[in-house]
Amino acid sequence: MESRIKDVKLIVIDIDGTLIDSEGKVGERTLHFAKELKKHDICCTLSTARSHHYSAHLADELEIDIPFVTLDGALIKDRKGNTVFRGLIKDTLVKKAIKLAEENYGKITMCDENNLFVTPRNAVVKEYTKLNAPILEVSDFSAVKDILEILVFCEDKVSMKFIKQKFGFFDRLGISLSVTKSPRNDYYLLTIKNSGSNKYESVRRLVNHLGLNRKNVAVIGDWHNDMPLFEYGAYNIAVQNAIPELKRKADYVTNSTNNEDAVGEVLELVFNYTLNGSH
């Protein structure tokens, strides 16, 4: 790890495949050194596609007092409820998404800061969503508001392509669209968000909020959605189990995987630099 690490004051950590192991647990070395670094004014925080509800439990474990990033940048908020950013989707666009999904065999769900909303006709999506937010069943979506993310699930590629094309016009109105395929190839997922709700913008907002700059930041990730974090210009760290594309952009690749407490390896190295100025 290069001597540049001596300037790090903020470590931004992805959750799935990075911070937690395959059983969803945080390593003991991570828990220990996160708290030790805090004593030296070096803070850890989170950046994840998961919900604030799920991430807050990990923030509690790590004793993170500063804001953390959830829903891939749509929400930046601390454990006490203080909000730095909410990337709300306009109500007119929410209604458009509902209409397109219902007319084209799509199942739809959406979330605000606290809940994942489903209707009886869309209840099946509970099996697919990985946000780990409390599920609130409503008779219809007419009363929901302050939506941060919309998820549309389709079983066939044609329906998904049609919905995306019809919604594509709204790219120019501050909306971002992304389509992914499930690991088992049994559905397609369209994610609709505010265009400013991404990991790049979120780390920039958080760094500005904390009065830091790029040289004070290290980011740790493993997956495609961490690529924007690596484009920010911080000290980029990929865990050993990261995708090859991320490793190629990394300044440092851990020897450990997420199942071997890779984040703990990084935090211990940073701690040693802080105390001794060497590895």
**What does 119-147 look like in DSSP terms, one character per residue?**
-GGGGGGGGT--S---EEE-S-STT--S-
pLDDT, average across residues 23-51: 97
pLDDT of residue 126: 82
Each residue's pLDDT tens digit, 230-247: 999 999 999 999 999 999
| DSSP SS3 for 195 | coil
Question: Residue 39: which H helix or E strand, with range?
Answer: helix 28-39
pLDDT of residue 68: 98
93: left (phi over 0), alpha (psi -120 to 50) or beta: alpha
Greatest Cα pair distance, the chain, in angstroms, is 63
User: Which residue type does 236 have?
Assistant: N
Q: Tokens 């007319």, residue? A: 103
* CATH 3.40.50.1000 domain residues, the chain: 3-86+197-276
CA geometry: angle at 251 spanning 246 and 256, to 5°? 70
pLDDT of residue 125: 86
pLDDT of residue 277: 66
Q: Is the pLDDT of residue 158 over 60?
A: yes
Residues above pLDDT 90, as percent of the chain = 77
Distance CA 135, CA 253 (A): 37
Q: Is the pLDDT of residue 279 over 50?
A: no
Rounded to two decimals, the pTM is: 0.93
Each residue's pLDDT tens digit, 84-140: 999 999 998 999 999 999 999 999 999 999 999 999 988 888 877 888 899 999 999
Least confident of 110-119, 130-139, 149-158, 162-171: 162-171
CATH superfamily ID and name for 3-86+197-276 = HAD superfamily/HAD-like (3.40.50.1000)
* CATH 3.30.1240.10 domain residues, the chain: 91-194
Residue 117's Cβ-count burial label (10 Å; 0-12, 13-18, 19+) is: buried
Distance CA 14, CA 219 (A): 8
Given strand 252-253, what is the order of strands in its sheet?
A: 43-46, 10-13, 217-221, 235-238, 252-253
Distance CA 139, CA 117 (A): 10
What is the full DSSP assignment across 89-114? PPHHHHHHHHHHHHHTT-EEEEE-SS
Alpha carbon 4 to its chain centroid, in Å, reads 26
Domain range 91-194, CATH class = alpha beta
pLDDT, average across residues 30-46: 97
The token pair at 217 is 């930041």
pLDDT, average across residues 26-49: 97
Each residue's pLDDT tens digit, 192-226: 999 889 999 999 999 999 999 999 999 999 999 99
